[in-house]
Amino acid sequence: MLRQGSVLVIFSNDLLGQGLAARLQGLGVMAAAVRSSDDGAAIRALGRHPDVVVVETTDQQWLARIQRLSPRSRVVDVSESVGPNAPQQALHFDVILDALADLPG
């Protein structure tokens, strides 16, 4: 069962970021999206401590920074689902929903 939670999508690809946020909002999930290149907006959004952070990056320092700024957030890294190797690995939307469903009550 999906628990109401909040999701932050940090993206470099407009279609992916805005699309994921819109789909989640359509399901009644509080979702926001920020560009990974907008450092200030990403930091402010992480300061609200979203339940789940969906991120597209291979930068381990950026992942560590996300976890430092919002330590209780579950991080879903979709970097293997997009980019030059895609569509070899498909993004399974259920991974995001599962992260919300697994949140403590």
Domain with residue 18: its CATH number is 3.40.50.2300
pLDDT at residue number 89: 47
Q: Which residues, in sequence order, are CB contacts of 36 under 8 Å at separation 6+?
A: 10, 11, 12, 42, 55, 56, 57, 62
Is the pLDDT at 68 greater than 60? The verdict is yes
Q: What tokens appear for 52 in the block?
A: 């789940």
Is the pLDDT at 50 greater than 90? The verdict is yes
pLDDT at residue number 1: 40
In a domain, 30, yes or no: yes
- What is d(CA 44, CA 85) in angstroms, rounded to the nearest whole number? 31
Pick the more confident residue, 74 or 95.
74
- What is d(CA 78, CA 94) in angstroms, rounded to the nearest whole number? 12
- What is d(CA 99, CA 92) in angstroms, rounded to the nearest whole number? 12
In a domain, 1, yes or no: no
For the chain, the domain total comes to 1
pLDDT in tens, 10-29: 988 778 788 889 989 988 88
Q: Which residues, in sequence order, are CB contacts of 28 under 8 Å at separation 6+?
A: 4
Domain span holding position 72: 6-101
In a domain, 58, yes or no: yes
pTM given for the model: 0.80
Give the chain's mean pLDDT. 81
In a domain, 40, yes or no: yes
Q: What tokens appear for 74 in the block?
A: 């579950």
Q: What tokens appear for 68 in the block?
A: 């430092």
Q: What tokens appear for 18 in the block?
A: 């805005």
